[in-house]
């Protein structure tokens, strides 16, 4: 660097000499000493400066040779430092970037016109290639978009882009070009932050933590949940009843409409057609057996004369009702209890057959879909549920009282003590650590969400000779069917 400043000082001296035609002045010596920043004695400084100006007063040819030699040494040093940097980056996170830079500056650039039916590419969108070892490198970029086609007026001929291709070893004619996009939606962010391996790692950590502390946490939170449900159900029931009462006119109107459109026209005919045969098949044998047994135990004489007596003008009445109650308690109930197992089996078979009937399922599904798609019904249900749960001040007070008490605070403290280590481990897995640096997936999300980068890219995939039909001339860019994260992440080396 001192040589560069000395060269600049010599240029300054030459300009001074041409304008003044004199030797070095004392103030010029001071100027040069300040530039060189020397700390030697004044006599030694003056000697060095005089020597410098002695060189500066050389012949023009010699001065040009010195300038050329200085510039050559400077650029040779710059190239040597750049080569050393590229070599030291091999095997680190910046190796793909170094390879891409070398390919950009040293590769033979070609210009490829590719069809873009998607119409979504923009200038400077990159083109990536993955080698046999799985490493990624950028081999080109979109140089211009919306290039007019040479012939034809179809959409494919008009929607073309110019790609600057920087790779000598990878011809564009032997590649299939696929366009990938990152829209920045929540599902895209989750897919980048939680790939399958990361998701499984997180699940394993939670399983280990719950295996160690699950019983303690359950014992701490189960009483709170039970108290919340017990105190909430009466409040919810009361508010639901009040909400339905406030909207009684709307409910009656909808029930009348659905009674005509659904119950009478669809459900009752479906029950007669599909459900009654099932009930008759499984319930009729048990019903006949119980009926015969009850008939054998019933006394027509006891029922008959009491019915006649009740119709007479005699004072005591309701003898028939008393006889019926006695018959039910002493005769009918024991009969039903003796056949309870058969009744339970029949009901179970009826439920199984009804649930497995495809016609019944299809009809009920269509009815439920018709009711759910009705705007008036949907608005009324949403309003009642909102008043019952969301705007229920009494329910909010119940939950606040339970979940802000001493028992709840003790449960929260226990949760923090037991689960904080695993939460920190999951945070390190997702976002990175001070020692290992930022997580590449988190860096992708930050660049995409905060900086608006890495929204579109092209992946060039090599096509085998046996699959030559997959390539076209000119190359055609197709939209990728699967998702993938941005191939290259620009990260600082955590070791630096």
**420 pLDDT higher than 90:** yes
Q: Which two tokens stand for residue 173?
A: 């004619």
CA separation for the pair 456, 123 (Å, rounded): 10
Lowest model confidence (mean pLDDT) among 122-126, 267-271, 375-379? 267-271
Adjacent-strand bridge partners of 75: none
**54 pLDDT higher than 70:** no
| Contacts by 342-347, CB closer than 8 A, 24 or more apart | 342/286, 342/289, 343/286, 346/282, 346/283, 346/285, 346/286, 347/283
pLDDT higher at 334 or 411: 411
Residues 158-215 pLDDT 10s:
578 999 998 878 888 888 899 999 888 888 899 899 999 999 999 999 999 999 999 9
- Decide: 279 and 292 in contact? Cβ < 8 Å: no
Q: Residue 265: left if φ>0, alpha if ψ -120 to 50, beta else—which one?
A: alpha
Q: Which two tokens stand for residue 315?
A: 């004072």
The per-residue pLDDT for 85 is 55
Q: In angstroms, how far is the first alpha carbon of the chain from the final one?
A: 24
CA separation for the pair 115, 125 (Å, rounded): 15
**494 pLDDT higher than 80:** no
Cβ of 108: how many Cβ atoms within 10 Å? 9
DSSP 149: P
* Spans of all domains in the chain: 2-86, 95-180+455-479, 183-246+410-453, 248-373
The per-residue pLDDT for 100 is 54
The number of C-alpha atoms within 13 Å of 325 and in the hemisphere containing its C-beta is 5
Residues 93-110 pLDDT 10s:
444 555 555 555 555 568
Q: Which two tokens stand for residue 2?
A: 């001192």
Q: What is the mean pLDDT of residues 267-281?
A: 87
pLDDT higher at 80 or 270: 270
Would you mind telling me the total number of residues written for the chain in this entry?
A: 496
Residues 354-391 pLDDT 10s:
888 898 888 888 888 888 889 999 999 999 999 999 99
**247 pLDDT higher than 90:** yes
- At 89, is the secondary structure helix, strand, or coil? coil
CA separation for the pair 73, 397 (Å, rounded): 80
Closest to 343 measured CA to CA, from 274, 288, 294: 288
- Decide: 458 and 177 in contact? Cβ < 8 Å: yes
Q: Which two tokens stand for residue 252?
A: 């009656």
**430 pLDDT higher than 60:** yes
pLDDT higher at 249 or 79: 249
**CA distances from residue 478 to 110, 166, 305, 468, 482 in whole angstroms, order as listed:** 21, 21, 93, 16, 12
Q: For 60-101, where are the E strands, in sequence order?
A: none
């Amino acid at each position: 660097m001192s040589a560069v400043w000395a060269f600049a000082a010599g240029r300054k001296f030459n300009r001074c000499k041409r304008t003044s035609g004199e030797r070095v002045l004392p103030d010029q010596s001071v100027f040069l000493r300040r530039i060189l920043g020397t700390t030697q004695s004044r006599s030694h400084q003056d000697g060095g400066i005089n020597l410098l100006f002695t060189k500066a007063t050389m012949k023009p040819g010699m001065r040009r040779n010195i300038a050329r030699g200085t510039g050559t040494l400077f650029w040779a040093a710059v190239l040597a430092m750049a080569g050393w940097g590229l070599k030291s980056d091999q095997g680190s996170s910046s190796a793909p970037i170094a390879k891409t830079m070398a390919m950009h500056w040293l590769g033979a650039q070609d210009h490829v016109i590719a069809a873009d039916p998607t119409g979504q590419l923009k200038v400077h969108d990159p083109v990536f290639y993955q080698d046999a070892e799985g490493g990624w490198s950028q081999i080109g970029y979109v140089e211009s978009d919306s290039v007019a086609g040479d012939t034809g007026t179809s959409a494919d001929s008009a929607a073309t882009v110019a790609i600057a291709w920087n790779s000598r070893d990878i011809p564009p004619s032997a590649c299939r070009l696929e366009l990938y996009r990152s829209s920045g939606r929540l599902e895209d962010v989750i897919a980048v932050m939680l790939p399958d391996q990361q998701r499984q790692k997180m699940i394993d950590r939670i399983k280990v933590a719950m295996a160690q502390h699950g019983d303690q946490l359950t014992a701490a939170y189960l009483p709170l949940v039970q108290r919340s449900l017990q105190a909430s159900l009466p409040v919810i029931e009361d508010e639901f009843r009040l909400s339905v009462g406030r909207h009684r006119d709307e409910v009656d109107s909808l029930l009348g409409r659905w009674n005509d459109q659904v119950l009478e026209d669809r459900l009752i005919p479906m029950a007669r057609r599909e459900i009654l045969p099932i009930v008759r098949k499984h319930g009729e044998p048990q019903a006949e057996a119980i009926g015969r047994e009850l008939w054998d135990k019933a006394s027509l004489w006891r029922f008959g004369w009491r019915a006649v007596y009740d119709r007479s003008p005699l004072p005591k009445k309701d003898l028939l009702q008393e006889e019926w109650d006695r018959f039910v308690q002493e005769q009918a109930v024991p009969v039903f209890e003796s056949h309870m197992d058969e009744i339970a089996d029949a009901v179970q078979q009826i439920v199984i057959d009804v649930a497995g009937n495809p016609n019944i399922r299809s009809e009920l599904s269509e009815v439920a879909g018709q009711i759910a798609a009705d705007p008036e019904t949907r608005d009324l249900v949403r309003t009642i549920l909102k008043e019952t749960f969301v705007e229920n001040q009494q329910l909010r007070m119940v939950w606040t009282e339970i979940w802000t008490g001493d028992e709840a605070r003790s449960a929260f403290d226990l949760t923090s003590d037991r689960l904080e280590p695993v939460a920190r481990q999951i945070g390190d897995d997702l976002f990175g650590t001070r020692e290992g640096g930022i997580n590449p997936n988190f860096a992708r999300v930050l660049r995409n969400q905060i900086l608006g980068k890495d929204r579109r890219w092209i992946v060039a995939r090599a096509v085998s000779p046996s699959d030559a039909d997959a390539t076209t001339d000119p190359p055609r860019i197709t939209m990728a069917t699967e998702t993938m994260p941005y191939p290259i992440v620009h990260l600082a080396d955590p070791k630096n």
